[in-house]
Amino acid sequence: MHATASSAGAPGFQRVYVWELPVRFYHWLNALCILVLTVTGFIIANPPAINTASEASFSYWFGTTRFIHFVTAYVFVFNFAFRIYWGFVGNQYADWKNFLPLRLAQFREVMSVLKVDILQSSNRPLLAVGHNALAYLTYFVMFLVFLFQVASGFAMYANMSDAWFPHLFTWMTPLFGGDAGLHFWHHLATWFFILFTLIHVYLVFYHDYVEGHGVLSSMAGGWKFLPSSALKSPDGKSWFGGAKAREADDKAGPVI
């Protein structure tokens, strides 16, 4: 799709190791946790009446469902904490500074992504080695929802537990007027993850389909396959994952 690459016959592609093993591990464990939490969460909110005419002492399936929800919540929390840690020690694509578009370059890339990929008013290729700036921003919002789910969930859980950790979040309860308000917003925020997953999966397919850089498999092996011409930018050592794409953009003139 790059003019230079395609005219010269086979494009020169380079394999770039983008997602380190801890990032991939985090991603899939996180995905599993969210799946389990969502499914058990909906069962807890509206349990099917599958048992009838039996003694309560024969069965504990609903208690078990709740137990799975709570245990998974702990796994989710520590996995999330690990990812935050990795934002400080991981490679440039995992860096925490990518997640907020505080620099002008990042903000411009957000606008470019909106034009090229979402509205498709421009067809000029965009190349982000890590995530693009809009994706990073979306993940930042998702992290905020993570924090809310953790805080509201553990605030509700605190009254069933003597452990210190859930009691760190009891300040949430008065903010929502009591447990009922917490339940409501905790339940509502679950829908964010469902909508997020729909769009996330769609966009991964979209990028792989249009760009062919192997973004779908990158979360399995860690590699993306990128045009070597675009990777050979002068400084070549920017911490910002999307910077190289932006430089390539600048050379090609402004996005329409």
> Whole-number minimum distance, CB 140 to another protein, in Å?
20
CB neighbourhood size of 256 (10 A) = 9
Residue ranges of alpha helices (H) inside 158-178 are 164-167, 172-175
The pattern of x and - marking residues 110 through 149 that bind another protein according to CB under 8 A reads --------x-x--x-x------------------------
Q: Does 256 sit near another protein (CB under 8 A)?
A: no
**Do the Cβ atoms of 100 and 140 come closer than 8 Å?**
yes
CB neighbourhood size of 101 (10 A) = 19
Q: Does 58 sit near another protein (CB under 8 A)?
A: yes
The one-letter code for the residue type at 216 is: L
Q: Does 170 sit near another protein (CB under 8 A)?
A: yes
Overall size of the chain counted in residues: 256
Q: Does 180 sit near another protein (CB under 8 A)?
A: yes
Q: Does 209 sit near another protein (CB under 8 A)?
A: yes
From residue 183, give the alpha-carbon distance in Å to each of 33, 77, 157, 187: 19, 19, 11, 6
**Measured from the CB atom, is 32 or 189 closer to another protein?**
189
The one-letter code for the residue type at 242 is: G
Residue with tokens 């190791």: 17
> Whole-number minimum distance, CB 78 to another protein, in Å?
26
- Nearest to 123, CA basis, from 48, 211, 58, 40: 211
**Measured from the CB atom, is 50 or 102 closer to another protein?**
50
Task: Work out whether the CA dihedral 18, 21, 25, 28 comes out positive or negative.
Answer: positive
Structure token pair of residue 126: 């965009």
**Measured from the CB atom, is 15 or 84 closer to another protein?**
15
Q: Does 219 sit near another protein (CB under 8 A)?
A: no
Q: Does 9 sit near another protein (CB under 8 A)?
A: yes
> Whole-number minimum distance, CB 181 to another protein, in Å?
7
> Whole-number minimum distance, CB 250 to another protein, in Å?
21
The binding site for another protein (CB under 8 A) comprises: 1, 6-17, 45-63, 65, 91, 118, 120, 123, 125, 159-160, 170-171, 173-174, 177-184, 187-188, 190-191, 194-195, 198-199, 202, 206, 209-211, 226, 228, 231
